[in-house]
A and B are shown apart, each in its own frame.
Chain A
Amino acid sequence: MALLDIKNLTLYIDIGGDTVKALDKVNLQLDEGEIRALVGESGSGKSLAVRCIIGAIPEYWSIKADRITYQGQDLLNMSYEQRRQIMRREIAVVFQEPTSSLDPSVTIGEQLEESIPPELIKRGWFWQQNKQRKRIAISLIHRVGIKDHDQYLKAYPHEIPIDVSQKIMIAMALASEPKILIADDSTRGMESTTKTQILRLLEKLNKTKKLAILFVSHDLLAITSVAHSMTVLYCGQTVESGKVKSLLKRPLHPYTKALLDSAPSFQLSLPTKSPLIALGGTIPTLQHLPAGCRLGPRCPNARKECVIVPPPRSIQDHTYSCHFPLHVPEKIAKRAPKLSRGLGADD
């Protein structure tokens, strides 16, 4: 059974009197012990999807979904307390930009100790408890690969390098021994050495602790090296999802192909200084969303039919939403089983 299961998640945002669908029928599944990558450019709604999962959205936005479940428990219809408990103990999030997520006025050690849930501390006098907290904090920091704990526990966030603070954020997330770790753009703007370290750390946690990881990023190189499966978002719509291997080998959606092509590292045959393959234009803003498939205006093989939202279809666990998928003859594409677009289909 899927650990986290999201089906047809739609998020309505009110902008200047208009209601727009910032997320449009997003499907996402995270199985136990799996690393799933959520890929998308900025403005594709990947961070919004994360915020919907953890429930950190303002009251005036409305969510509509067939289901958002965690281990079979419905996250949308549970009490605030219950949901908080799950978020506290089972699902941990590492937010973007560690430097702004850490409290600048408190030392790393104190913040780390604060994130340890009281259930993990054995009973005792307060000094004994403090000692235990400290011990746990040190072991956490060792676990994420920082050896010099004394130096960093006493430091303030601005005094430590960005990759160390990223690791500290991961350590804080691991404090409650969660089942799911959501890493929101953890490798952004890092050089390759530190990036590999963070990725290796995530991979190790996944293997040793059976931690399920939702890896949110647009760094394809990082994704393809760690993730087992991936979901590609474009402009709030799920474009394609499946095993990383099959997506890399045979991307069905033109957007996925364009994303893969845009990384020069993946094209060994490309001579240096030659132009890269790029889709024209940019991701549309929420005010100017095109009708139907949102890639439409930028898509190289868009046709008349594309003004209607393509239903998600699936071929052997490889789901795509496109009227004219690449690599698939039209006949087979038409016959591929449609997945339900949900009851709330209002367009």
Chain B
Amino acid sequence: MTKILSVRDIEYRHFIKRGLFGKQQIFTLGPISFDMYKGETIALIGNNGSGKSMLAKALVGALQIEKGEIELMPDADAPAEYAETQVESPAKGANDDSQRFSVALPQEARINARKQDIRMILQHSADALNPALSIGTVLNQTLKLNTKLGETARREKIEETLVKVGLLREHYYFYRHMLSDGQQQRIALARALLLDPKIIVADEPFAALDPSVRSQTVNLILQLQKELGLSFVFISHNIGIVRHISDRVIVLDKGQIIEQGVTSEVFTNPQQAITQKLIQSHFDLVEKHFAKL
């Protein structure tokens, strides 16, 4: 397994101030470190306000971290068409295999590369789509801003991606209100996939979905992961789904990683009280279900 992302001691502080004279509270995320491998699914679990969403945002660069490094390992077989946009790196000639973006590239270029290789799916995909623009226009914006593809190439790329997520080419002309929840979720996934990312970060992608659509989305993600070798970081409250699709889990509490490991191991033998409570409360419900059979 090849390592594609390494997160080293990242820290972020969030200031909360209530009222004019209220005392300032500081929520500190981190220091957090973990590695990610190709084709792996990591689940972030934890109670409300434990910093899961913050960590997800920090990974995609929506939050400017204060300390630490997020390093993206360059892929040997990166698609050539995007090479241009990925800003010339001064250390390109160096024959160092583990050439690091963070070391080699200036700040801006690093963020640019990350923007393309780590993509995010937001929780409410419906709210994340502009109702006044057609799906094609929405997806076009992503390509226009991030690549140097021409108009026909963009069009081709979009249609190809739409088919990839199980929609039709015609959905290019559709507007948001014409699509169902599941289809909107697929568009959100298509938008993330457009730039051929290596990692997709999703903040509760299944929470707003109905059971049958949720299964469809889970299947789609599993299938895409198999085909494209994507790595996937997701936040979920649904322990059942976490158990089903994740390879590793990271348990967060108060901005810290309190436990991490292979899903099956963490689930059978949770070490921390918070993890135990989270998992136990889920399995209690499951047990009750089977008791009724």
Query: Which residues from chain A sit less than 8 Å from chain B, CB to CB?
Result: 41-42, 159, 161-163, 189-196, 199, 218, 220-222, 224-225, 244-245, 248-249, 258-259, 261-266, 270, 272-280, 282-283, 285
With a 10 A CB-CB cut-off, give which of A192, A263, A266 has the most chain B CB atoms.
A192
Given contacts A248-B289, A278-B219, contact A191 B278 (CB under 8 A): yes
**Shortest beta-carbon distance, A206 to chain B, in Å?**
15
Which residue of chain B has its CB nearest to the CB of A244?
B292
In the complex, are the beta carbons of A193 and B277 less than 8 A apart?
yes
Interface residue? B48 (CB, 8 A):
yes
Partner of B210 from A270, A283, A285 at Cβ < 8 Å: A283
In the complex, are the beta carbons of A41 and B284 less than 8 A apart?
no
Interface residue? B105 (CB, 8 A):
no
Partner of A224 from B45, B278, B292 at Cβ < 8 Å: B292
Query: Which residues from chain B sit less than 8 Å from chain A, CB to CB?
Result: 18, 45, 47-49, 180-183, 204, 207-208, 210-216, 218-219, 222-223, 237, 239-241, 243-245, 263-264, 277-279, 281-282, 284-286, 288-289, 292-293
In the complex, are the beta carbons of A191 and B48 less than 8 A apart?
yes
Whole-angstrom distance between the alpha carbons of A224 and B215 in the complex? 19
Which residue of chain A has its CB nearest to the CB of B264?
A272
**Shortest beta-carbon distance, A221 to chain B, in Å?**
5
In the complex, are the beta carbons of B211 and A191 less than 8 A apart?
no
Whole-angstrom distance between the alpha carbons of A274 and B241 in the complex? 12
Given contacts A161-B49, A248-B293, contact A192 B285 (CB under 8 A): yes
Given A249-B293, A275-B223, 13 additional A-B pairs, CB 8 A: A161-B48, A190-B237, A191-B48, A195-B281, A218-B211, A221-B286, A224-B292, A263-B240, A272-B245, A273-B222, A275-B222, A276-B244, A277-B215
With a CB–CB cut-off of 8 A, which chain A residues contact B204? 189
**Shortest beta-carbon distance, A310 to chain B, in Å?**
20
With a 10 A CB-CB cut-off, give which of B49, B207, B237 has the most chain A CB atoms.
B237
In the complex, are the beta carbons of A266 and B210 less than 8 A apart?
no
In the complex, are the beta carbons of A282 and B282 less than 8 A apart?
no
In the complex, are the beta carbons of B244 and A264 less than 8 A apart?
yes
Given contacts A192-B239, A220-B211, A222-B285, contact A275 B219 (CB under 8 A): yes
Could you tell me the dominant secondary structure of chain B's interface residues?
helix
Partner of A266 from B45, B218, B289 at Cβ < 8 Å: B289
Given contacts A161-B49, A278-B216, contact A41 B210 (CB under 8 A): yes
In the complex, are the beta carbons of A41 and B48 less than 8 A apart?
no
In the complex, are the beta carbons of A218 and B210 less than 8 A apart?
yes
In the complex, are the beta carbons of B212 and A258 less than 8 A apart?
yes
Partner of B214 from A221, A262, A283 at Cβ < 8 Å: A262
Whole-angstrom distance between the alpha carbons of A41 and B213 in the complex? 9
In the complex, are the beta carbons of A189 and B207 less than 8 A apart?
yes
Given contacts A273-B245, A278-B219, contact A262 B286 (CB under 8 A): no
With a CB–CB cut-off of 8 A, which chain A residues contact B284? 196, 225
In the complex, are the beta carbons of B288 and A224 less than 8 A apart?
yes
In the complex, are the beta carbons of A264 and B282 less than 8 A apart?
no
Whole-angstrom distance between the alpha carbons of A278 and B264 in the complex? 24
Which residue of chain B has its CB nearest to the CB of A227?
B292
**Shortest beta-carbon distance, B161 to chain A, in Å?**
20
Which residue of chain B has its CB nearest to the CB of A219?
B211
Whole-angstrom distance between the alpha carbons of A244 and B244 in the complex? 25
**Shortest beta-carbon distance, A312 to chain B, in Å?**
22
8 smallest CB-CB distances across A and B, nearest first, come from A265-B240, A278-B215, A41-B210, A225-B288, A264-B244, A276-B215, A196-B281, A262-B211
Given contacts A221-B289, A282-B182, contact A262 B215 (CB under 8 A): yes
Partner of B218 from A190, A218, A276 at Cβ < 8 Å: A276
22 pairs across A/B with beta carbons < 8 Å? A41-B210, A191-B48, A193-B277, A193-B281, A196-B281, A221-B240, A224-B288, A225-B288, A248-B292, A248-B293, A249-B293, A262-B212, A262-B215, A266-B286, A270-B244, A272-B244, A272-B263, A274-B222, A276-B215, A276-B218, A282-B182, A283-B212
With a CB–CB cut-off of 8 A, which chain A residues contact B288? 224-225
Whole-angstrom distance between the alpha carbons of A196 and B47 in the complex? 13
Partner of A282 from B181, B208, B263, B292 at Cβ < 8 Å: B181
**Shortest beta-carbon distance, A268 to chain B, in Å?**
8
Which residue of chain B has its CB nearest to the CB of A278?
B215
With a CB–CB cut-off of 8 A, which chain A residues contact B281? 192-193, 195-196
**Shortest beta-carbon distance, A249 to chain B, in Å?**
6
In the complex, are the beta carbons of B289 and A276 less than 8 A apart?
no
With a CB–CB cut-off of 8 A, which chain A residues contact B278? 191-193
In the complex, are the beta carbons of B282 and A41 less than 8 A apart?
no
Which residue of chain B has its CB nearest to the CB of A265?
B240
Which residue of chain A has its CB nearest to the CB of B210?
A41
With a CB–CB cut-off of 8 A, which chain B residues contact A42? 181, 210
**Shortest beta-carbon distance, A114 to chain B, in Å?**
25
Partner of B292 from A199, A245, A272 at Cβ < 8 Å: A245
**Shortest beta-carbon distance, A6 to chain B, in Å?**
23
**Shortest beta-carbon distance, B251 to chain A, in Å?**
12
In the complex, are the beta carbons of B282 and A192 less than 8 A apart?
yes
In the complex, are the beta carbons of B213 and A224 less than 8 A apart?
no
In the complex, are the beta carbons of A225 and B244 less than 8 A apart?
no
Whole-angstrom distance between the alpha carbons of A305 and B285 in the complex? 39
Partner of A196 from B213, B285, B293 at Cβ < 8 Å: B285
With a CB–CB cut-off of 8 A, which chain A residues contact B286? 221, 265-266
**Shortest beta-carbon distance, A34 to chain B, in Å?**
15
**Shortest beta-carbon distance, A107 to chain B, in Å?**
14
**Shortest beta-carbon distance, B59 to chain A, in Å?**
21
Whole-angstrom distance between the alpha carbons of A162 and B47 in the complex? 12
**Shortest beta-carbon distance, A256 to chain B, in Å?**
11
Which residue of chain A has its CB nearest to the CB of B208?
A189
Given contacts A161-B49, A162-B48, contact A278 B212 (CB under 8 A): yes
